[in-house]
Amino acid sequence: MIRQLFILPLFSLAAITGIQAQSHYPGQHAGKFAVPDQLQPAVYSFDLSDVRLLDGHCKQNMEREQQWLLAIDIKKLLHSFRVNAGIFDANEGGYFDIKKYGGWESLDCELRGHTTGHLLSGLALMYAQTGEPVYKAKADSIVMALSEVQTVLDQDGYLSAFPQELINRNLAGKKVWAPWYTLHKIMAGLIDQYLYCDNQQALAIVSKMGDWAYKKLQPVTPAQRTIMLRNEFGGINESFYNLYAITGKPAYQWLAAFFYHNEMLDPLKEGKDILDKKHANTYIPKLLGMTREYEIDGKGDGDSIAAFFWNTVITHHSFVTGSNSDKEKFFTPDDLSDHLTGYTGETCNVYNMLKLTRHLFTHTGDIRYADFYEKALFNHILGQQDPATGMVAYFLPMLPGAHKVYSTKENSFWCCVGTGFENHAKYGEAIYYHSNDALYVNLFIASTINWKEKGFSMKQETNFPESDTMLFTIQQAPATNLALHIRYPSWATSALVTVNGKKLPVKQAADTYITIQREWKANDKVTVVFPMALTTQATNDNPNKAAILYGPIVLAGEMGTAQMDAPAPYSNPALYNDYYTYNYHVPANLVTALSVNKNNLAASIQPVNGQPLSFKTVKEDITLRPLYDVHRERYVVYWNIK
């Protein structure tokens, strides 16, 4: 049964705001939404501009990302857009004298143009996260160039680096890669430019794109729609809902509903796990659209469906790192040990799961979502980036003896490079949340938070996870009681809390929030200690195949560099999926088994003096370090435990 496409009446003119329209928080984006969310969330996000990172792993990743964002050559990036529009500029040497980007941005690749959308989002997020105008200036120049392309194309608002023929092939059910997916990235980037950088031209461009899409899809029959939706379209439904919320234009709400994919979503209503063999990054964004619909309407089954999907993925389809999929696809529920390959853990999947997690956390305030966010952020996203080059990994391989393989600056413009532009620009998005009278601390990342509406600001100093201690210093506070809710994580063996040096009794259990309520004053200090311990986490289907963790941090066994290929194997622009051609050449004598006492890991695995988060196995003499910190060498995550 095809879901009815309908238009709801507009709600009263008011504003919702938030990071990519997710948080409902009245701050940076106030006044930019014509349609208010009807959902009353349990907690609210802060604007990214309210959080500033202090020195630590996250800020260092962000700084490397800044160099990469600014190094992208706009002329190379937009070349395919200009070619598609027939824009010839003699001052630039014509069409063929420009050295073009390769790989997924090649002129013969059907996904060309997606990187531009991600770059616009990354620049917008980086501008919000840092306040530095250089990121806005670069984005402004891209938006201006895209406006020119859209005008010259003169196709009812159509804008892309490829001709409409690819869209027509999709509508006809013919083979094509993913044209709506690519348009989604461009639209999302333009929307972010409007929300974070107040770029009115970006809103005008994306609105024209929406007008074109409405005209294009109005004549599509139900049978055509069923066929075309089987092609990957990313989160374009989410973008249309956001565009509807911003403008109040019913056509965009119609478009969002048009991309409701019955075949993939209806079974979730019935509590059915049909994920086996489904392309994971095609699936996850569909739930983001449903979630935005639920937030705007304040009713319906979008929230329960998204929550069921989320729980199913993290419980039955995810590795210890919080990542999922093998060769980009979900597999039989719980069948983890059979899928420890070199192609596990697509980074785009984690990116989208974290977006969905933030939505669901604001709806409920359920600490499980904060736990997962921490797991996936520290064990996957943080270690995706190569500290030597700033390039990023498509997969996080679970194959024993594999290693991370990174993108290249000229040719490897994969989807995970695009989401990488965003991942490392928004570490501040999920550290803090708030209710009307309480501040929530969900993540232990060195940072400051400025709750402007309450006149409250605070600094968090920590070297977590190398240290188990967090120091919170109140910098400004109103003359009224405010509650501070500090997440008491499930991995902590205990909790020690002091306020201005005085020890407070901790009555809460782990996996809840420790609440401190008082009238705060400037220079009040709260110290929290959450001791960590070694644990194992077995695969769902094999109790003797297990990973080793210290607190929430996945430890990997360092296995050296024997028989590793040259540093940049992903360099052939003619092979768009060349990551599947990569052979890890794992040595036959690689150690993949450990003799440990599961009931007393400390006797089998001992810390290395003077090296935080470094351990040695007593019998095998293997060094274990955080997976996020293991680069350019082989590693083992899942061991055969003897």
Instruction: Report pLDDT for 569.
Output: 52
Which token pair is 151? 């005008």
**Tokens for 313?**
């993925």
Q: What is the pLDDT of residue 4?
A: 32
pLDDT tens column, 330-383: 999 999 999 999 999 999 999 999 999 999 999 999 999 999 999 999 999 999
Residue 564's pLDDT is what? Answer: 87
Q: In this model, does residue 624 exceed pLDDT 70?
A: yes
Rounded Cα distance between 20 and 355, Å, is 10
- Across the range 148-171, mean pLDDT stands at 98
3-state secondary structure 195-249: HHHCCHHHHHHHHHHHHHHHHHHCCCCHHHHHHHCCCCCCCHHHHHHHHHHHHCC
**Residues 240-291 pLDDT 10s:** 999 999 999 999 999 999 999 999 999 999 999 999 999 999 999 999 999 9
> What secondary structure does DSSP assign to 446-492, as a single string?
SEEEEEGGGTEEEEEEE-TTT-SEEEEEEEE--SSEEEEEEEE-TT-
Q: What proportion of the chain, given as a percentage, has pLDDT over 90?
A: 88
pLDDT at 517 over 60: yes
pLDDT of residue 558: 98
- Cα–Cα distances in Å, from 625 out to 444, 557, 630? 19, 7, 7
The average confidence (pLDDT) of the chain is 92
Average pLDDT over every residue of 49-67: 98
* Arithmetic mean of pLDDT, 5-31: 36
- Give me the residues paired with residue 112 across strands: none
Where residue 89 falls among pLDDT bands split at 50, 70, 90?
low
Rounded distance, CA 265 to CA 158, Å?
29
* Interatomic CA distance for residues 616 and 622, integer angstroms: 5
DSSP state of 381: I
| Number of residues written out for the chain | 642
- Which superfamily is assigned to 432-464+469-529 in CATH? Golgi alpha-mannosidase II (2.60.40.1180)
pLDDT surpasses 60 at 92: no
For residue 30, name the pLDDT band (cuts at 50, 70, 90): low
Q: Give kind and range of the element (H or E) at residue 187.
A: helix 179-197
Q: In the prediction, which pLDDT does 5 show?
A: 31
Phi, psi of 623 (to 5 degrees): -85, 130
- The pLDDT, as a whole number, for residue 3 is 35
Q: What is the pLDDT of residue 304?
A: 96
Q: 268 CB contacts (<8 Å, ≥6 apart)?
A: 274, 305, 308, 309
CA–CA gap between residue 299 and residue 450 (Å, rounded): 32
Domain ranges in the chain?
47-227, 432-464+469-529, 534-641
Looking at residue 26, its pLDDT comes to 34
CA distance 125 to 65: 11
pLDDT 10s digits, 564-580: 865 455 556 677 777 77
pTM exceeds cut of 0.85: yes
pLDDT given for residue 88 in this prediction: 75
pLDDT > 90? residue 28: no
pLDDT value at residue 19 = 37
Burial class of residue 248, CB neighbours in 10 A (0-12, 13-18, 19+): middle
Q: Residue 91's pLDDT is what?
A: 58
Amino acid at 421: F
pLDDT band at 23 (very low <50, low <70, confident <90, very high): very low
- Residue 12 is predicted with a pLDDT of 25
> What crossing angle do the helices spanning 74-85 and 133-153 adopt, rounded to 10°?
10
- What is the predicted pLDDT for the residue at 579? 77
Residue 1 above 50 pLDDT? Answer: no
pLDDT of residue 391: 95
Predicted pLDDT at 576: 75
User: One-letter amino acid identity for 374?
Assistant: E
Give the three-class secondary structure for 138.
Answer: helix
pLDDT at 98: 75
Task: Give kind and range of the element (H or E) at residue 53.
Answer: strand 51-53
Confidence bin at 93 (pLDDT 50/70/90): low
Residue 197 has pLDDT above 60, yes or no: yes
| Residue 100: per-residue pLDDT | 86
